[in-house]
Amino acid sequence: MSKLVRVYWRALLATSFMLVVGFSMYGVWQVTLLSELANLIPKIGASQSPLDRPQLKNVLESFQAREERYDFLEKNPPSIKDPSL
């Protein structure tokens, strides 16, 4: 019986070791793949801005207009009848 236990224990250890090695190799492969992909992405230079200034200004103006509408509606709430009455 003890021989069967030793064989089972060694099989568990070998399987665990193979899993650890396999997952480690997979992790190294993923890291190298990501670094290769990072090298393929074109770099944005200092002269090229990722933001479009006129479009950004339009977005900020729309937020300002939304805030003004909110303040107006907060001071002058619309009179809406309760439909359950």
Quote the pTM value. Answer: 0.45
Q: What is the pLDDT of residue 29?
A: 95
Q: What is the pLDDT along the chain (85 residues), one digit of tens a residue?
A: 799 999 999 999 999 999 999 999 999 999 999 888 877 776 655 566 677 888 999 999 999 999 999 999 999 888 888 788 7
Q: What is the pLDDT of residue 35?
A: 86
Q: Distance between the two ends of the chain, CA-based, in angstroms? A: 84
Distance, C-alpha 53 to centroid of its chain: 26
- Expressed as residue numbers, the domain containing 19 is 2-39+52-75
Asked if the structure places residue 44 within a domain, the reply is no
Asked if the structure places residue 84 within a domain, the reply is no
Q: What is the pLDDT of residue 67?
A: 96
Q: What is the pLDDT of residue 48?
A: 66
Asked if the structure places residue 82 within a domain, the reply is no
Asked if the structure places residue 46 within a domain, the reply is no
- The span from the CA of 34 to the CA of 68, in Å, is 46
Q: Count of domains in the chain?
A: 1
Asked if the structure places residue 9 within a domain, the reply is yes
Residue 43 DSSP code: P
Asked if the structure places residue 57 within a domain, the reply is yes
Asked if the structure places residue 11 within a domain, the reply is yes
Asked if the structure places residue 21 within a domain, the reply is yes
